């Protein structure tokens, strides 16, 4: 998504990318900072890929082919509808979920998850990133990256970039809350996916980013600072999530706590308040119905207080 590279250059590369991963000599100089290093030294990626067993290579090739074609499609197409938004997120993240599920299955440690659940795992993370990164994407040089669907933002402003203007603060927050509410649709699928995982390492690999995502949404919801700077979870809370995420008990507990925090931030006058609360109630019910909330670590009250403090104070680090 380097906006400095012309579409007629990017599209063929994306379409053929599944072939490039087999070529030890292929590279394409683009991007900045760590992305430039990655692309300049892509031969390391190809070398690692070619050392994998054939089953893993085939799974990665299939997902890379589909992802490249999908990303090429959206190079010249804007995200107009919510369906477009879901489709774009499927190509850039949902397919990652599908690919990982195939790799977990090929490894022999997990059953092959339903594609709908794998897709939701990717969409929940991607939508969270798109919400959080509004300001960075809209200020991208030489051209803005616009991933928020027109079907949502056009209810509040005439142009997507208008959301960052102070005179539109009320509408901007309402639009933000609409976007968060949309992302919450995927949570129940994510919880179902994670509850089926058996391998502890795979479980933590999947669960920690999902908890970070619901925590980030709790921080972003109803927060005008999304349109003013960088909003993200503090390092201390991130460290606690990483340290304490070991089982579905921890996952249900974290989703329950963050959903409670999010629900407490809902303004009854928000145009989507009823829909937001309904989706949060569904998540809370799923967590309660798991029957494990009472088995959480003994210092839960201290942890919740810690979360409440950190979620209420945005970070600009």
Domains of the chain: 129-312 (1.10.600.10)
pLDDT at residue 3, rounded to an integer? 80
pLDDT at 302 over 60: no
Alpha carbon dihedral 6, 7, 8, 14, in 10-degree steps, equals 120
CB-based burial label for 32 (10 Å; 0-12, 13-18, 19+): exposed
Q: How far is CA 274 from the centre of its chain?
A: 24
Among the ranges 30-44, 107-121, 139-153, 229-243, which has the highest mean pLDDT value?
107-121
pLDDT at residue 142, rounded to an integer? 80
- Please write the tens of the pLDDT for every residue from 197-211: 999 999 999 999 999
pLDDT at residue 4, rounded to an integer? 84
Nearest-CA neighbor of 201 among 170, 245, 157? Answer: 245
Reported as a pLDDT band with limits 50, 70 and 90, residue 305 is: low
Phi, psi of 236 (to 5 degrees): -65, -45
Residue found under tokens 């299939």: 62
> Residue 221 catalytic?
no
The catalytic residue among 205, 235, 288, 297 is 205
Reported as a pLDDT band with limits 50, 70 and 90, residue 9 is: very high
- What gap in Å lies between CA 8 and CA 6, rounded to an integer? 6
Alpha carbon dihedral 120, 191, 263, 229, in 10-degree steps, equals -50
pTM score: 0.92
Locate 54 and state its tokens.
Answer: 């054939």
Locate 307 and state its tokens.
Answer: 């979360």
How many other CB atoms are found less than 10 A from the CB of residue 212? 21
- What gap in Å lies between CA 208 and CA 167, rounded to an integer? 37
- What gap in Å lies between CA 127 and CA 117, rounded to an integer? 15
pLDDT at 313 over 80: no
As a whole number, the mean pLDDT across the chain is 92
pLDDT at 143 over 70: yes
pLDDT at residue 190, rounded to an integer? 98
The catalytic residue among 124, 132, 203, 255 is 132
Residue found under tokens 């309402």: 174
pLDDT at 295 over 70: yes
Averaged pLDDT, 31-44: 93
Reported as a pLDDT band with limits 50, 70 and 90, residue 317 is: very low
- Please write the tens of the pLDDT for every residue from 258-289: 999 999 999 999 999 999 999 999 999 999 99
> Residue 132 catalytic?
yes
pLDDT at 167 over 50: yes
The H or E element containing residue 55 is helix 54-75
- What gap in Å lies between CA 265 and CA 181, rounded to an integer? 13
pLDDT at 309 over 60: no
Check residue 232 and report its DSSP letter: -
The catalytic residue among 18, 42, 88, 303 is 88
> Residue 145 catalytic?
yes
> Residue 205 catalytic?
yes
**Are 253 and 270 in contact, with CB atoms under 8 Å apart?**
no
Averaged pLDDT, 207-220: 98
pLDDT at 229 over 50: yes
pLDDT at 138 over 60: yes
pLDDT at residue 296, rounded to an integer? 65
């Amino acid at each position: 998504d380097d906006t400095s590279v012309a579409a007629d250059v990017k599209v063929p590369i994306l379409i053929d990318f599944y072939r490039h991963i087999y070529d030890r000599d292929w590279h394409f100089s683009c991007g900045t900072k760590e992305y430039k290093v990655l692309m300049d030294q892509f031969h390391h990626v190809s070398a690692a890929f070619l050392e994998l067993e054939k089953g893993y290579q085939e799974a990665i090739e299939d997902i890379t082919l589909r992802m490249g074609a999908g990303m090429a499609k959206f190079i010249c197409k804007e995200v107009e509808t919510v369906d477009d938004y879901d489709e774009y997120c499927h190509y850039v993240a949902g397919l990652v979920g599908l690919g990982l599920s195939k790799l977990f299955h090929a490894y022999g440690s997990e059953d092959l998850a339903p594609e709908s659940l794998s897709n939701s795992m990717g969409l929940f993370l991607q939508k969270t990133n798109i919400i959080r990164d509004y300001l960075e994407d809209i200020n991208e040089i030489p051209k803005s990256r616009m991933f928020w669907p027109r079907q949502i933002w056009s209810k509040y402003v005439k142009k997507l970039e208008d959301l960052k203007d102070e005179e539109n603060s009320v509408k901007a927050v309402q639009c933000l809350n609409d976007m968060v509410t949309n992302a919450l649709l995927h949570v129940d699928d994510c919880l179902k996916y994670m509850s089926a995982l058996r391998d502890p390492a795979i479980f933590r690999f999947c669960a920690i980013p999902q908890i970070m995502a619901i925590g980030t949404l709790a921080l972003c919801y109803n927060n005008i600072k999304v349109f003013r700077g960088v909003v993200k979870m503090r390092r201390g809370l991130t460290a606690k999530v990483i340290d304490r995420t070991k089982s579905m008990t921890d996952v249900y507990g974290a989703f329950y706590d963050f959903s409670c925090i999010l629900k407490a931030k809902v303004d009854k006058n928000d145009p989507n308040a009823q829909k937001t609360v309904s989706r949060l109630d569904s998540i809370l019910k799923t967590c309660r119905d798991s029957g494990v909330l009472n088995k959480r670590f003994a210092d839960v009250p201290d942890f919740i207080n810690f979360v409440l403090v950190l979620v209420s104070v945005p970070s600009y680090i």
